[in-house]
Amino acid sequence: MPNQPRLDVSEAPPPLELTEPHAPRARHALVQRLCEIVSWPETRLPSYERQLAADILVGLLRTSNVELRRRCAQGLVRVNDAPKALLRYLARDEISVAQQLLESGAGFDDSDLIATVRAGVAWHWLAIAKRRNLSETVTDALLQTGDATAIEAVLRNTTSRLSTQGIDLVVAKSRQATTLPAPLVSRPELKPTQALVLFWWSPYEARLQILRRFAVDRQVLIQELGEVFKLAAAEGWSDADTRKTLQVIERRQRNRAAAAQSPYKSLEGALAAAEHGLDRGLVHEIAHLSGVKPTTAAQVFADAGGEAIGVFCKAVGLKRPLMIALWRALRRPAGDPDSTNNSLGRAIYVFDTLATAKAQTVLRYWNWSFTADAAGIEHTPFNEDVLELSLARRNAALLFTRNG
């Protein structure tokens, strides 16, 4: 080989040694600029170019810092046609990045929000729950997470809409989540049957709201169904379903036939005997004289707060002293009947302020919906299968499932 000139080692460049941290300024500028571009208004950027920029961004953002991702998310908040892949990627980022986008992002449709609920965690659920004008499908997805904080946020969001099944889920959840009854009773979607199940584990203030809203008289129904009562009586009340339905509506609460056969002759006579102690047989007798099933009476008498006893006593036409006598016979805690700082006083307040006809409506509703088909379902779980049951059977399932 021909002689090659020898390299002088002394003239070689020194080894590459970084004396300052490497800052990928071009990459940073690229991501920053693309974030700006994808957030431009629709009139400034064709949709296909926005989509191309977004596809590039998704790959770059995976290794970008939090601040860049947050700025990108904030830029997309007002973009109606925000690219879906980028939108969903940022929506599932850590909450400091995703929060403003989830709460106010204009580019989301229901499918985007539902996908984010399913892929997200509690912080994402809470942010979505605060969005305006949530549809029933989105609120259903949020309620199905079972997260009490997110559920409460949905209930307090006055612009959200809830489905009947969604309300059912919240009623069931509220049995353990004590923060839910108060916002739930204010929802316009709440139906009487749901509210009067919710009553049993609601605090005092929520119970009052339920009674004020759903305890109504039956004057129109009584008047309009007058001829039907006559027809049923002429048939000897032979049709069981007709009889049960008309019993919910009829004007009279007490059972006169039971009084004629009772050894106590009247409800007052049975309550006088109760002063010496209540046993199962006497509870059954009081129930029959009052025109309700023993299951209903037992539920009322065992009510933890005692307000249900006030409803019962007003519905059956008892005087105040007899209500207090029944309270004592049930071995309920003593208290000042003229103050609502104790359970007796709260029960008396319900008794004093609730009209007899309205109290009867509540008691009839309980008796109808909680005892119909109740036999044999004490161990039925309140789940999606039960949602398919009849209204009465579903309520009974929820009421008698002690473990919620």
pLDDT of residue 10 exceeding 70, the answer is no
d(CA 108, CA 130): 14
> Mean pLDDT over residues 51-64, rounded?
79
How far are the Cα atoms of 9, 175, 200, 377, 397 from residue 402, in angstroms, in the given order?
88, 10, 12, 12, 10
- Higher-confidence residue of 100 and 217: namely 100
Residue 330: which H helix or E strand, with range?
A: none
Q: Could you count the other beta carbons within 10 Å of the beta carbon of residue 329? A: 19
pLDDT at 97: 93
Distance of CA 112 to the CA centre of its chain: 23
Mean pLDDT, rounded, for 95-112: 95
Give the angle subtended at the CA of 176 by the CAs of 165 and 216, to the nearest 5°.
60
Least confident of 3-17, 266-280, 380-394: 380-394
Instruction: Please choose, from the candidates 141, 180, 181, 182, the residue with its C-alpha nearest in 3D space to the C-alpha of residue 160.
Output: 141
Judge whether residue 226 has pLDDT over 90.
no
pTM beyond 0.75: yes
- Side chain identity at 148, as an amino acid letter? A
Burial (CB count <10 Å: 0-12, 13-18, 19+), residue 198: buried
The CA distances from residue 298 to 46, 152, 292, 364, in Å, are 70, 32, 10, 15
In the chain, what percentage of residues exceed pLDDT 90? 51
Nearest-10 crossing angle of helices 294-301, 280-290 = 110
What is the secondary structure of 164-218 as a DSSP string?
Answer: HHHHHHHHHHTTT-TTSHHHHTT-TT--HHHHHHHGGGS-HHHHHHHHHHH----
Name the nearest CA neighbour of 308 among 400, 386, 198: 198
Q: Quickly state the pLDDT bin for 3 (edges 50, 70, 90).
A: low
Mind listing the pLDDT tens digit for each residue in 135-172? 999 999 999 999 999 999 999 999 999 999 999 999 99
How far apart (Å, rounded) are the C-alpha atoms in residues 325 and 323?
Answer: 5
Mean per-residue pLDDT of the chain: 83
- Per-residue burial over 8-30, b if 16 or more Cβ lie within 10 Å, else e, is eeeeeeeeeeeeeeeeeeeeeee
Does pLDDT of 291 surpass 50? yes
pLDDT at 128 over 50: yes
Rounded to whole angstroms, the Cα distance separating 115 from 79 reads: 19
Helices (H) and strands (E) counted in the chain, each on its own, are 26, 0
pLDDT of residue 110: 97
C-alpha to C-alpha distance for 240 and 368, rounded to whole angstroms: 13
User: Which DSSP letter does residue 334 get?
Assistant: P
Local confidence band at 267 (pLDDT 50, 70, 90 cut-offs)? very high
